[in-house]
Amino acid sequence: MSSRLTSGVTQIFSNVYAFAALKSDGSVVTWGESSNGGDSSSVSSSLTSGVTQIFSTLSAFAALKSDGSVVTWGDSFSGGDSSSVSS
């Protein structure tokens, strides 16, 4: 993961427990407490490109993509699970 942070990072976002770095190619790198957004592996295929903005709550993240879609991860009680409103 640290090698993915050596170049191209344009912004860093945080919540209480984790960080998310937005890169110039629209990809996202995350680290920190896994259950609170530090582990984005469940949505990693959606975070490889096209992300334009990242928002955070106490323990979750939401990424806005260039196509208008939203990807969420982290603690479900803090907004990390948007499956109930994604359809």
What integer pLDDT is reported at residue 21 of this predicted model? 98
Number of compact structural domains in the chain: 1
pTM: 0.92
Pairing mode of beta strands 60-65, 70-74: antiparallel
Question: What are the respective helix, strand and coil percentages of the chain, to the nearest 5?
Answer: 20, 40, 40
**Residue numbers in the chain where pLDDT is lower than 70:** 1, 87
What integer pLDDT is reported at residue 87 of this predicted model? 62
Give domain status of residue 61, yes or no: yes
Intra-chain end-to-end CA distance of the chain, in Å? 32
Give domain status of residue 81, yes or no: no
The enclosing domain of 63 has a CATH number of 2.40.10
Give domain status of residue 18, yes or no: yes
